[in-house]
Amino acid sequence: MNSLLKGTVAAACLLATLGGVAHAGGFSRGSADTDILFEDGNFNMRAGVTYVSPTRKFSSGLPGAEGLVGTSYTDDYAIPSMAIKLNVSDNFRCAGTMVDNNGGSATYAVPKPSGKLEEDFTTNEKALTCGVKFDVGKGSIWLLGGGYVEDFDYNRVNATTTPGVMAYLRLSGEEYGYRIGAAYTIPEIAFRAQVMYRSGTSYGATGTLSIPAISTTVPATGTGNLPQSVEAKVQSGIAPGWLAFGSVKWMDWSVQKNLLVESPIKDSDDVYNWKDGWTVTGGIGHAFTDRISGLVSLTWDSGVNTGYDLSSDTYTLGVGASLKDNLGGELRAGVGYSYLTSAEVTKGDDTGLAVKAGHAFAFNVGYNIKW
């Protein structure tokens, strides 16, 4: 039973990689792959990428931007992820991780009333997380902790009042934070319960606002907040070759009231006034053989909209599989489908803007190897 459960646990790791569709609301995308700390092997390495293709079409526009109706503004994006784990001793190990943890990308068919045509941003987290293990009876207690550095990049294109003349905003920044957690494991039945806290970040990103048509470039600053989070996860073998798993994640997106950009040419203020985000996931995994495992999961994301934007509830169905090869490695792949509920702006400058229900597809592939 134990060998079959290990294969099922490997398949269940795909759950995190499909999180780029629904992940505690706001701008959330991926999470650091700290689960690698619990895997067998003195040295483990895995890498993967998730590609997400969302579609959300406007059902109503605003005066001067009626051309938005019937068009989709959500861009495709990719979420790279990498993790390397090393056992320092029998009871102490560390993992280095990298992931695009937040992001957003939109392209509008015609300028919004604010002049916005394109907008994208990404935060990339690089982290070191360690775990120390204390054996207790049939199981072990783990204490987890580490730090991260987060890089922020933001780009925006605005149409100006002069036809054909565009303004380009580019900002970047870097912030630091930490994560701490604890877990209890019983390897014999693939049981693991854990909770992890991750601190938030606040940015005063700097860059430039340029208008090439008139050879003008001025300094610019953007300020905003990205949330802290708490995630609780549990999994357990429930029958020979079968594993049940679930998680609940909270992120305090209510700290992100607005994105304020200041420059000598023009200031802008994107108001969000979000509420906190919740994501709940449950699923079942099964090891068909010692080499082949699969899973199915269902995720509900609460969305964070309070009337100022279009961030609404999301429901995601994920299916994944794991295949061990003859070289000691493991190929993992998965697909996800998300239903994005309709939304309408009822407060602020964009009141009346609305989108109908949409969808998103996510595709993930990764490879894991251990020694």
pLDDT, one tens digit per residue, over 124-142 is 999 999 999 999 999 999 9
Band (pLDDT 50/70/90 cuts) for residue 109 is very high
Band (pLDDT 50/70/90 cuts) for residue 19 is very low
pLDDT one-digit tens code per residue, 184-207: 999 999 999 999 999 999 999 999
pLDDT one-digit tens code per residue, 160-178: 989 999 999 999 999 999 9
Nearest by Cα to 245 from 203, 179, 189, 289: 189
Strands 258-262 vs 242-251: parallel, antiparallel or unpaired: unpaired
Number of H helices, E strands in the chain: 2, 21
In angstroms, the first-to-last Cα distance of the chain is 22
| Alpha carbons 105 and 17: distance in angstroms, whole number | 19
Model's pTM, two decimal places?
A: 0.94
CB of 142 closer than 8 Å to CB of 131: yes
| Alpha carbons 312 and 267: distance in angstroms, whole number | 28
Quick one: 131 exposed, middle or buried, by C-beta within 10 A (0-12, 13-18, 19+)? buried
Alpha helices in 207-363 (DSSP H): none
* Residue 6 pLDDT greater than 70, yes or no: no
Place of tokens 């709940």: 280
Band (pLDDT 50/70/90 cuts) for residue 273 is very high
Mean pLDDT of 95-117: 94
**Which range scores top for mean pLDDT: 12-26, 55-69, 122-136?**
122-136
Band (pLDDT 50/70/90 cuts) for residue 255 is very high
* Residue 24 pLDDT greater than 60, yes or no: no
| Alpha carbons 275 and 305: distance in angstroms, whole number | 7
Phi-psi region of 14 (alpha: psi -120 to 50; beta: other; left: phi over 0): alpha
CB of 197 closer than 8 Å to CB of 228: yes
Residue ranges and CATH numbers for the domains of the chain are: 2-370 (2.40.160.60)
| Alpha carbons 100 and 243: distance in angstroms, whole number | 28
Alpha helices in the chain (DSSP H): 2-12, 14-17
Band (pLDDT 50/70/90 cuts) for residue 20 is very low
| Alpha carbons 234 and 251: distance in angstroms, whole number | 18
| Alpha carbons 32 and 16: distance in angstroms, whole number | 9
* Residue 92 pLDDT greater than 80, yes or no: yes
Across the beta sheet with 343-344, what order do the strands follow?
58-60, 354-355, 343-344
